[in-house]
Amino acid sequence: MANKERRNRPDPSQLLTQIEEDEQRKKRGKLKIFFGSSAGVGKTYAMLQEAHRRRAEGIDVVAGIIETHQRPETMQLLEGLPQLPRLEVDHRGVKVSEFDLDEALKRKPAILLVDEFAHTNAPGCRHPKRWQDVEELLKAGVDVYTTINVQHLESLNDVVESITGIPVREMVPDSMFDEANDVVLVDIPPDELLNRLRDGKVYIAEGANERAIQNFFKKTNLLSLRELALRRTADYVDADTDDQRRREGLSTPNIAGDRIMICIGPDRFASKLVRTGKRLAAALKAPWVAVYVETPDADSQNLRIRHHIQQVLQSAEKNGAEIVNLQGTKIGEELIEYAHNKGITKIIIGKPVKPFWKKAFGGELTDFILAESGDIDVYVVTTPAPALLSQNFNQKKMPFSFPEIRVSDYIFAIAIVAAGTAFGYFLRPMLSNSDVIMVFLVGAMIAAAWLGRWPAMLYSVLSVACFNYFFVEPLFTFNVYDSSYWLTFAVMFFACFVISSQAAKLREQMLFSRRRERETQMFYRLTKQLSVARDEKVMARDLESCISEALQAQTNIWYPDEKGSLAMRVGSIVEDQIKEETAAQWCFDHQEPAGLGTNTMPSALHYCLPIIGTRSVLGVLGVLPMSGKEAFLVDQVVMLKTFAGLLASALERLRAAEVAEKTNLLVEKEKLRNTLLSSVSHDLKSPLSTIAGAIDALLEETPKNPLLVSVRHEATRLTKIINNLLDITRIEGGQIQLNMQPYYPAEIIGIAIEACRETLKKHKLSLHVKDNMPLVKMDGLLMGQLIQNLLENAAIHTPAGAEINIQADIVDGAFRLVVSDNGPGIPPGQEKEIFRKFATFSRGDRPKGTGLGLAICQAIMAAHQGSIRAENKPEGGCSFIVELPASLTVSEAS
Amino acid sequence: MTPRKTNIVIIEDEPEITRFLEASLIKQGYGVKTASDARTGIKISSAHPPDLVILDLGLPDMDGKDVIKSFREWSSMPIIVLSARGQDSEKVAALELGADDYLTKPFSTPELLARVKVALRHTMRKENTEEQKYSFKALKVDLLKRQVLVKGKEVSLTPTEYDLLAALARKEGQVVTQTELLHTVWGKNSGEQDHYLRIYVQKLRQKIGDDPLHPQYIFTEPGVGYRLMSTD
């Protein structure tokens, strides 16, 4: 048993993740969700009651936005809660009141109530969805209470729709729900709910379809929704239990080793695949991957389809999937190879409804996967009819269109047919009809290779028609005498079709690889340019030209100043500069993309991408598509991210070089000065000792000679200056190793006083040294010198008779010494300056002192990791406050 | 004055310092010989053993510590070392190798002369063992009777405190290194218990009425040790 326990212990890396998560959580606000099966169960009411309870506990609870729907009970409950003003947004001439995110962030309450989690914000708000507002609040450390109905959860969306038959468009990603700190299920039996509905206690949106409401609030529906809500809550509790068990070191009942892959394709059940993947992954507690294979084929290159796929991939990522973008010509092979390489155990794939002829020629991807999957489980997902309907809104936005039509291509196709016909017609005497067919087939190849698939199709049809018209009896009619020609036409059309589609495929592949090659070349060129660029502006210009060439877009690059606001911009100017800058700043602060095509300020013109270096965000790359408001596609975004990455590394290299250069210069300067100082002072020192010695000898003979006394005095002063110079070069040059020993502060102060006895003769010294101070570790010699310097400094800068005060004490465990005087004080604003080398301030008529004493003090304190500062006293004079770190105080030794 | 002239050897490479040291010492009636490097210094001293050596620690040809070692092989004469600023660890090493006292450059002539006098007095005391009494200002220590008097009143010290005071008194006027004090009082295995020393010195100071802020008897030499003041 004991053995088993041990085995169940969580492994260290898991614990580390746990700790990291906990850290994150500590900073992050807590989310509490009041969850219900449908409108009218009383979620808002429950939330408000809870809010009042917390408020009674003295917690700062603020109502961010509450939809009371004019219900008296709810309105009554809202009384007594402080409310945030709403944000009035002008939307197409109609004033809409929305939740004011900025106000909430400014107010920063402990708990904020935000009703209706799934609400869609009016255009012009920072985020399109309210749950994104909540996300930002949580990131800012605000606790949020919110409400949501089961039909708004993304993964249950189609289930709810199949129950009620009513599409729901406002969705919240399940991850928000699953990561909530608390979920409170607000539940009432369906009969009671129906009663409330009858009493008019349930809010129904104005203008809602009467029949739809009746359809929705059917008892069977309500029962199903209730079951769904209960089950979803149970799932949440289950996950929470697992989490708790993990926290307590019990292993989770994990079905090990599963990896799920969903295959996203250019079909309409991509979103359903995501939801299925998410649910399966959650049930198995397995990681999942959303894979998209980009092919050179026309569908895959269609802008709108790619856009749709990008959205699907984003939603998968939001729900916890890893996003993988593969490139290749054969989707099935790429998928299978990836699955085998990455140890995927379950594949989820859609069952596309292909037209029969496509099936006949193209083969079925699902069949291929089933055949090649080996030991991987394959789940095939279909889309029931109602769900297809629910995609209508999607479809409206992006009808499956043909690729852009270039009329010239079709004219060329017609021209080739004409040329082939003319050639055959004039050489008719020499050619048989089968030769003419050959000519047309060659034309088909040419058309496909030059013009692409659809012009080649046109060519195929036209060539058959022309052949019939110009070469088959009766000539110049579409009639045929010999009915065997119908077979010829069919074979000819088929041959043209096959040739043209194969040639077109080749052409597409060629274009595809040419595009890849161009991209590679571009990256290569940019890398080279950036590596030689010598300043940020040049780098920005290099990138700008690259992006404008690759994406037909304008570029703005913002660089931050020291305070982290984006001060410098390189690039073109756009109209609403403030909005763009706000988006860029948000992007910089949150290290996430913002602006066009994102969830943050999508109304901005730029797509803003943070330029993330190894340690910090170095700036923001803003890209503005010239075509207007069309967002960038997946591969374009990937390309932009690569650009940003290249710029980031180039910028970091630049910054590192700058810093290195600066430090080098500083070091060199300092070295030079120190060498100079020490050599000068050495050269001065020896003659000075001689002078001093000689005068001492002379003074023995005539002790009272005033000339000799003053020469001796000056010699001492000079010696002191030189010693100071030497000291500071030694301390700053790091040539001194502290000799840390425990001392009673009083003995060190005693030494300094003794050493300054002569200097302080004319001053009044008052001592306030606390008795029985503990031992403090320090370099006694240097600390003695520090105190001596401070005393001398005070003596020099105060008139004779002035009072010098030494105060020593242990404050919060740290030794603290204050040397103060009642002299003229320090010139205001110079409190820091005076510690600089050679900073003498003539506080009288001429500079006194060497200008080094205080610099030495500072160097000594720096070596001790202590602090020294000067301040003027309000009653006049100044004090120097020295503090050693508390760690140096020796606790009362036994 | 002793009948025989007291001889001093100065080993110092800076001629200016040598010159004024020589002048000052000669004036006091000492016999002086000088050497500008260690080898010459050792040669002169071994030919005619002097009564005291003044040795600069920063000589060009030999490490000052090695010079002390070579002197201590054959002589116990007092050695006063001269050290430059920043040679603190050298200085302590020199003292531990047997140097008697030290002076940090720049020093004043009276300071040097006082140290020389104290050092020479200790040599004489070693020869004349009766003199086992220390007296300075109001403090009197009788090393034979193990008696300590302050202003004529007997002060009762714990054995450790007394040992400490006695160790300082035996070398009155001269610096005693921390290691030496620890070894003499707590024995060779006392290790580096610097804070014991500080605590006992503190207690001793309290009992003999010596204020660390204004010391009269026991002076702290930071990083080196303690010195008990004496006349001169």
> What is the distance of C-alpha A575 from the center of its chain?
26
Residue A170 CB coordination number (10 Å):
17
B88–A719: do the CB atoms touch at under 8 Å?
no
B chain contacts of residue A784, beta-carbon cutoff 8 Å:
222
A12-247 maps to CATH 3.90.1310.10? no
Contact A751 B108 (CB under 8 A): no
Give the model confidence (pLDDT) of A654-663 as tens digits. Answer: 888 888 888 8
Domain ranges of chain A: 12-247, 260-397, 407-469+477-509, 532-649, 663-714, 737-888
Quote the mean pLDDT of chain B.
Answer: 87
Contact between A826 and A835 under an 8 Å Cβ cutoff? The reply is no
Question: For an interface test with A, which of B19, B21, B195, B205 has the most A Cβ atoms less than 10 Å from its Cβ?
Answer: B195
pLDDT value for A892 = 60
What does the pLDDT read at residue B44?
92
pLDDT digits over A514-523, tens only? 877 888 888 8
pLDDT higher than threshold 60 for residue A152: yes
More confident residue, A566 or A238: A566
pLDDT at A391 over 60: no
Report the percent of chain A where pLDDT is more than 90. Answer: 10
Q: Note the pLDDT of residue A643.
A: 87
Reduce the DSSP state of residue A373 to 3 states and report it: coil
Q: What is the pLDDT of residue A11?
A: 58
CATH label, A737-888, candidates 3.30.530.20, 3.40.980.10, 3.40.50.1980, 3.30.565.10: 3.30.565.10
For residues A238-256, average pLDDT: 60
Q: Do A751 and B222 touch (CB under 8 A)?
A: yes
DSSP A463-497: HHHHHHHHHSSSTTSS--SSTHHHHHHHHHHHHHH
If you average pLDDT over residues A770-798, what whole number do you get?
90
For domain A532-649, say whether CATH 3.10.180.10 is its number.
no
pLDDT at A247: 63
Range name among A652-661, A714-723, B12-21, B88-97 with the lowest pLDDT average: A714-723
**A105 close to B (CB below 8 A):** no
Q: Examine the pLDDT at A427 and tell me if it is beyond 70.
A: yes
The most confident of A4-8, A677-681, B211-215, by mean pLDDT: B211-215
Q: Which residue has the higher pLDDT, A512 or A894?
A: A512
Rounded alpha-carbon distances, angstroms, from residue A154 to A85, A204, A226, B219: 30, 22, 17, 83
Q: What residues of chain A lie within 8 A of the CB of B220, using their CB?
A: 743, 747-748, 750-751, 780
Question: Distance between CA A566 and CA B59 in Å, rounded?
Answer: 62
> What are the counts of helices (DSSP H) followed by strands (DSSP E) for chain A?
30, 24
Contact A631, A307 (CB under 8 A): yes
Token readout for A330 is: 């054969």
Encoding tokens for residue A114? 């935000």
**Is A844's pLDDT higher than 70?**
no
Q: Tell me what pLDDT residue A846 has.
A: 44
Query: Would you tell me which residues 186-215 of chain B have a C-beta closer than 8 angstroms to some C-beta of chain A?
Result: 194-196, 198-199, 202, 211-215
Cα separations (Å) of A634 from A239, A312, A316, A726, B138? 32, 11, 13, 65, 94
Average pLDDT, chain A: 80
- Which chain A residues are within 8 Å of B20, Cβ to Cβ? 689-690, 693-694, 696-697
Least confident span in A94-108, A746-760, A841-855: A841-855
Confidence at residue A245, expressed as pLDDT on a 0 to 100 scale: 64
Q: Which residues contact A372 (CB under 8 A, 6 or more apart)?
A: A332, A333, A336
CA distance B16 to chain A (A): 5
**Cα distance between the two ends of chain B:** 16
Nearest to A781 among B88, B196, B199 (CB): B88
Classify domain A260-397 by CATH number.
3.40.50.620
Residue among B50, B197, B51 at smallest CA distance from B127: B51
3-state secondary structure A521-543: HHHHHHHHHHHHCCCHHHHHHHH
Residue ranges with strand state E in A272-362: 288-294, 322-327, 346-350
The answer to whether A43 touches A190, Cβ cutoff 8 Å, is no
Q: What is the pLDDT of residue A280?
A: 84
Q: Would you list the DSSP string of A568-625?
A: EEEE---S-HHHHHHHHHHHHHHTS-EETTSSSSTTSSSEEEEEE-SSSEEEEEEEEE
Burial letters for B98-121: b for 16+ Cβ neighbours within 10 Å, e otherwise?
ebbbbbbbbbbbeebbbbbebbbb
Instruction: Give pLDDT, residue A766.
Output: 92
- Supply the pLDDT for residue A387: 35
- Mean pLDDT calculated for residue range B200-204: 92
Which residues of A, range 110-139, sit inside 8 Å of B by Cβ?
A: none
| Position A287 pLDDT exceeds 90 | no
Test the A interface: residue of B10, B19, B20 with most A CBs within 10 Å: B20
pLDDT grade for A178, boundaries at 50, 70 and 90: confident
Domains and CATH numbers, chain B: 7-127 (3.40.50.2300), 133-228 (1.10.10.10)
Cα–Cα distance between A292 and A266 in angstroms, integer? 9
- Stretch A387-406: mean pLDDT, rounded? 40
Higher pLDDT, residue A163 or B210: B210
Task: Give the pLDDT of residue A783.
Answer: 92
Contact by Cβ (8 Å): A793, A858 = no
CA distance A223 to A227: 6
Euclidean distance between CA atoms A458 and A412, whole angstroms: 10
> Which A residues in the span 712-741 are in contact with B, Cβ-Cβ below 8 Å?
719, 723, 726-727, 730, 735-736, 739, 741
More confident residue, A351 or A649: A649
3-class DSSP state of A648: helix
Structure-block tokens of residue B45:
């001293």
What is the reported pLDDT for A385?
A: 39
Provide the β-strand partners of residue B102.
B81
Distance CA A464, CA A456 (A): 12
**Cβ neighbours, 10 Å, residue A132:** 20
Residue A721 to residues A718, A785, A798: CA-CA distances in angstroms? Answer: 5, 13, 20
Q: Do domains A260-397 and A737-888 have the same CATH topology?
A: no
What is the per-residue pLDDT for A404?
55
User: What is the least distance, in Å, from the CA of A695 to any CA of chain B?
Assistant: 9
- The whole-number average pLDDT for the span B74-100 is 86
- Extract the runs of DSSP E, i.e. beta strands, from A676-786: 740-743, 764-769, 776-779
| Most distant pair of Cα atoms in chain A: their distance | 151
pLDDT of residue B79: 94
pLDDT tens, position by position, A491-500:
888 888 888 7
A702 and B CB contact within 8 Å: no
pLDDT band of A399, cuts 50, 70, 90 = very low
Strand pairing class (A617-625; A553-560): antiparallel
Is 70 exceeded by the pLDDT of residue A89?
yes
Higher local confidence (pLDDT), A230 or A597 = A230
Place of tokens 């569908």: A299
Instruction: Spell out the SS3 assignment of A1-44.
Output: CHHHHHHCCCCHHHHHHHHHHHHHHHHCCCEEEEEECCCCCCHH
Site from B10, B16, B202 to mutate, A interface, most A CB atoms within 10 angstroms? B16
> For residue range B18-73, what is the model confidence (pLDDT) as tens digits?
888 898 899 889 999 999 999 999 999 999 899 999 999 888 888 888 999 999 99
- Would you say residue A488 has pLDDT above 50? yes
DSSP secondary structure string for all residues of A301-327:
H-HHHHHHHHHHHHHHHHTTPEEEEEE
What percent of chain A has pLDDT above 70? 85
Gap between the Cα atoms of A401 and A650, Å rounded: 41
B35 in helix, strand or coil? strand
**Contact between A780 and B220 using a beta-carbon 8 Å cutoff:** yes
Q: What pLDDT, on a 0 to 100 scale, did the predictor assign at position A835? A: 85
- Is residue A109 scored above 60 in pLDDT? yes
- DSSP assigned state of A115: -
Q: Are A585 and A591 in contact (CB under 8 A)?
A: no
Per-residue pLDDT of A537-551, as tens digits, reads: 888 888 888 888 888
> What does the alpha-carbon distance between residue A129 and residue A147 come to, in Å, rounded to a whole number?
14
Q: What is the identity of the amino acid at A786?
A: L
